[in-house]
Amino acid sequence: MSLPDSRDKLTRSIHVRLKTSGLEESFINDLRLLCVQAPGTCALILHIMTTEENEYRVRAKNIVTNSGKELLEKLRAKLGKENVWLSKTAA
């Protein structure tokens, strides 16, 4: 199985970490648009970090996206490589 095939078949969710400090509505809208324009079968899980270093995990309700290389590159360019990862579970 090739890497792109295994990524498509085994990935159930994309995780992104966001810091609440300096988070703007336009940034969230841009993130949403990136994911909506790449439809698929993966849940989008947001890890929201507060200024007090508390982490809240939220599953995006109406966004189902793909785990393709193009989307991952765009997300990592926007959020940083360490803030975007794949998981084989949907939660």
Q: Is residue 56 part of a domain?
A: yes
Domain count, the chain: 1
Q: Is residue 8 part of a domain?
A: yes
Banded model confidence at residue 89, pLDDT cuts 50, 70, 90:
confident
Q: CB neighbours (10 Å) of residue 41? A: 14
H-helix or E-strand spanning residue 19: strand 13-19
Q: Is residue 91 part of a domain?
A: no
Domain containing 63 equals 3-86
Q: Is residue 50 part of a domain?
A: yes
What's the chain's Rg over C-alpha atoms?
A: 13
Residue pair 66/39 in contact (Cβ under 8 Å)? The answer is: yes
Q: Is residue 13 part of a domain?
A: yes
Residues with Cβ within 8 Å of residue 41, at least 6 apart in sequence: 12, 64, 66
- pTM over 0.85? The answer is yes
Q: What is the pLDDT of residues 11-63, one digit of tens each?
A: 999 999 999 988 899 999 999 999 999 999 999 999 999 999 999 999 999 99
Say what the pLDDT of residue 2 is: 75
